[in-house]
A and B are shown apart, each in its own frame.
Chain A
Amino acid sequence: MRPLTVIPVAIFAVLAVVFGVYLWQVGPGGKDISQLPSAMIDRPAPQFDLPAIAGAPGRLDTLGLKTADLVGRVSLVNVWASWCPPCRIEHPILMTLAKEGVTIYGINYKDRPEDARRFLDELGNPFARIGADTKGRAAIDWGVYGYPETFVVDASGRIRYRHVGPINPGQVDSIIRPLLKQAEQNADGAK
């Protein structure tokens, strides 16, 4: 066979493989290509200092959240809002993790205090601390662009993982728990 007859077939074969692999990767259950890699991975959490959700302390009596709070123990940082439907879907998973003893910190994004309070009164509060990011500036410092977003932060206060969108039950076992475990082990090793 002459090379000129082979070339188009070869190009077709290469393209078919490339597209095939891509299709297989992003297909049902595959990776979401609209999700961006975070610029923050393996970097210390950004500097921020957010007040607690405003209003009279009732059932919801939480402290604000600042960078220093993230140092000392492995935690999840969840950016949420009462107006965000996927946050509502994700909420039971956060509740489960909190009951298991995972430290979860919340950043309440552009929410009205009364709405945020009602949301937590209704669905329960999984957060050890909640910072009220009423202007959304702390979220920008975290590189947040979709809600909810969840970060795995290790004991030294470094971001290890960023998850965009609600965590589904499968991802808790396949992604979140292993990362938390690994971070715990690293923290124990450092002691």
Chain B
Amino acid sequence: MTLPQAHAPILEDGTDAAAAVGGGDDARVRGEARDEAAVTVVDPIARDAGAADGLPERRFSAARLFARGRRPSWALLVAVAVIVIAVLWAVVPWLFTSYDPIVGVPAEKLLPPSAAHWFGTDAIGRDLYARVVYGAIHSLSGALIAVTVGLAAGTVIGVLAGSIGGWLDDVLMRLVDVLLSIPGLLLMLSVIILLGFGTVNAAIAVGVVSIASFARLSRSEVVRVRRTDYVEAAFGSGGTFAAVLGRHVLPNSLTAVVGLAALQFGSAILAISTLGFLGYGAPPPTPEWGLLIAEGRNYVATAWWLTTLPGLVVLVVVLSANRISQSIGRGTR
């Protein structure tokens, strides 16, 4: 293992600093610093596997998602691009289409996709592409609310159960078991019936269903991290329970949970669309994605684009969220 050029300054600095303190032990301390600098490379496993000399990149930067591997994964690039476009649709929809999503031109009803109407038009002459673009805000904000509810409540339950343990762990996890044992759709519909119809309520219902999986995952991660040497060492250096939890346990256990959040974001879009399709979500004429597909199903035989194209948009966005989640998950290993 040759000494990487970039480390030459370390060697000199280290030697000087050590010599300054070493006093009588000059020569020996000097030797120590040199020995250590010579092996400053990468961790031995990576080194044995032939990793490059020099510093490994930092673990959790956003840039690393693309920097890993020998070439950036094109699938990941496409996935990120899709999510960025969907978010832009939600934030500045008017930049993407000049048509109005609500008011149609009756003369132009049920036109197939063309250069003028990319996704065709619906039964009352509204541009379907415009409706999909303007619908993004409903689906994405709904998914965001759902994930926030699930992440916040689920993580709190999971962290409490995992870090305190004992009877609290048993009680909370049995509650989670109950939640998991009820079919998701049934639970969602029950929550909506309690809360009332509407986009936000549908989103909360979706979020409630995901609490259980967030709680399960965060508990298992917290339990794993709690058993590590560095957490014990933190207690050993006089850390209080709260300090160790905040400083070591949470930061090290939440990466996987963030990965699950990205995954849930995709499935929340799907679940909200399902609720919209069933008529429990936003009322017409709101251009919500699930509602769009539901409205189009009467015309499946004559106007395929009314169901197929919004359906494809949902599919692509969900797949992209899953792909991003996958690479976050990989980053934790």
User: A and B, one complex?
Assistant: no
